[in-house]
Structure 1
Amino acid sequence: MPILIFFILHWYLSLFAQTFFLHRYAAHQMFTMNKFWEKVFYVLTAIFQGSSYLSPKAYGIMHRLHHAYADTEKDPHSPKYSDNLFDMMWKTKTTYCDILHDKVSIAPKFMKGVPDWPAMDRFADRWLVRVLWGVLYTLFYMQYATAWWMYLLLPIHFLMGPVHGAIINWFAHKFGYVNFKVNDTAKNLLPLDLLMLGESYHNNHHKFGGRANFGVRWFEFDPTYPLILLFNLVGIVKLKKNNDLNYM
């Protein structure tokens, strides 16, 4: 039971950091927050993602490139231009690292307003820090695992962020249903998205890229959106106007 609880907590906390802070805030700026809360969520992202920490700046820029060039040769992660899932994720890693370490020239429009805390990125991105997180995960399993097969979950812990990205960037461009005609292959992977906290409503998101609520139809519940509304209510974030509109 402790292993299952730990895995579920890590899955959803890491996913929340990615969808709330990296995706909806860093990449799309669907809401604003002051510098204090920005640093709070920076730290929480480093803790929740642990060994698979993704820089908000590099993620934000890369995701903007994905929307600008979806399913073209310039897309950082398109199944259309990859032989398989692992090929796509390797290309994604290469693009992400090039952006993180300033090895490529990025147009200013893709960099505007992305959160940037270089000291935190340097610390959380160190291999020693990533390995230490992996050691902590392993020690927890050594303490509480009751069967050998539980250890098969450890690689997912090590690569939690990329695993979440792979599910959406590969499968949500290949399988699912479509609410809106868009200029790419984005689909809604799950009709009720309790697994990916709303991220699987990929077709909706590609149609309304600035909308904080990824669900559109009556049955499409986005679990992250009520949290955003709560944060907006208590003053942690400020939703931009018309971000709570229903389209269908």
Structure 2
Amino acid sequence: MNGICVELRSYADQVNLHRHDYHQIVLPCRGALDLEVEHRNGQVSQGVGVFIAAGETHAFSARGKNRFIVADLPVEDAFVPTGMADTFVGTPFFTIGADTQGLIDFLEARLAREDLTTEAISAWNGLFISSLSHRRDGRIHTALSFMRAHSSRSIGIAEIASACGVSPSRLHALFKQTLGESPHAALSRLRLDQARQLLAATDLSIAEIAARTGHTDQSALTRRMRLSDGITPGQYRRNARLAVTARGSA
């Protein structure tokens, strides 16, 4: 895409599964939108928005009267800094503060009356991204990036904390405050997300995928996926391929 697309949208009571090569932000105006973003469930409603990073699979549905601001943003740093976008991978839902809500109210009123110029939309986007970036701790981004880069081997919380320049106890507090989970839980979730992506997109054996994503063996990955998703890795792969076939024939 060549630029930012911002518009008011309403959704039907149905589930649509898809992904796209640009970032998308969905902000509430009226009603609620249920979403699943790479197996993370949540709801966009009063006080909560979602940042869907480029390439992430997501499904959504809404009930009753609803209206949302939807911003489609190119992946270039000029629109959303890469480092900031990365912090939303795995943690897409965010709390809307008073400053951010003011920007939402302004844009909803303007979009309801008229088409905005490219300059006005770009100015709004800059203010909005700035309001979001103030709510994302750079040390969390560093920790998550370190986890992704080293997920195939055994890494401890002390090593992750050292990469961020904080103590293990401070790292734990940052994760709890920002993401609502411990660093260990985030690492386990990240490894499982990577396994899902490899199952869906490659023909690697399940044992190889387990090794590449830091699981001790195939059985460990199977146990983790059963606990999280209620299915085995083999079933997940079959379901993912069926979903791709269904989208292709739709």
TM-score normalised by L of structure 1: 0.26
More helix as a share of residues:
1
Bigger relative contact order (CA 8 A; separation at least 6): 1
Query: TM-score, normalised on structure 2?
Result: 0.26
- Higher Rg of the two aligned structures: 2
